[in-house]
Amino acid sequence: MQYYGLIGHPLSHSFSKAYFEDKFKNEDLDCFFVNFDIEKLDSINDILIQYPDLHGFTITHPYKKEIFRYLYDIDDNARQIGAVNVVKVDNDGHLIGYNTDYIGFQGVLDEAVDRKIITKAYVCGTGGASEAVKFVLQRKNISFDVLSRKNDSYKCLNEHGFHDNELIVNATPVGMYPKSEEMLNLPYATANNSDVFIDLIYNPEETMFMREAKKHGANVFNGLKMLKLQAEAAWKIWRG
């Protein structure tokens, strides 16, 4: 019997447990998936003691950066990104950190942009998910600005608005279930059908961020494909 899990807080929005439980059932695997909703990451030591058969887990908000201090080793890509969303527990009980968020985002971006030429990108948020987004944008030579509530970047964007062929990525939890009515303060009315809006949130399926952008003709995508791609990449790491 093998255990896998998800660590974060809160986890009421997450579909990961259902995704992996379906996978285990469909592939007839003797595995179990547990949600570890913890308010402080130091509880991870208790989890490892309680679940000696834990082979790996994913990490979500708000611990993708904080997890570093618990890791024995870190994959090169995760180290470059500066965030970890997958941890493998090796045979000696060591925690090895990886990042599969960038794999998931790259898949969504390729579908969303297709043959479009993106002239500029805006990344909303400064957490672990945004680091994976920036990593992919840098690889694709797409220039970007990071928007944060800690400075005047949102205010500046609202003053000049969006232009043609721009990419806007919501890498924050704003608009995530159960606070689905929340929305980032952006100049949605200046968007058009050459712009692409990607929300890394997948619950709800259509966020207010997506809905407002779509009103003005923008192309919108949620994070469900990203979830599936990063989850499958995590599974390969755990089993590989």
Decide if 142 contacts 121 (C-beta within 8 A).
yes
Contact between 99 and 84 (Cβ < 8 Å): yes
Q: Is 161 left (phi over 0), alpha (psi -120 to 50) or beta?
A: left
The C-alpha atoms of residue 98 and residue 103 are separated, in whole angstroms, by 11
> Judging by beta carbons within 10 Å of its beta carbon (0-12, 13-18, 19+), is residue 97 exposed, middle or buried?
buried
Q: How would you classify the pairing of strands 86-89 and 54-59?
A: antiparallel
Q: So which residues are the catalytic ones?
A: 64
DSSP states along 136-166: HHHHTT--EEEE-TTSSHHHHHHHH---TTE
Residue with tokens 């800690």: 150
d(CA 209, CA 5): 29
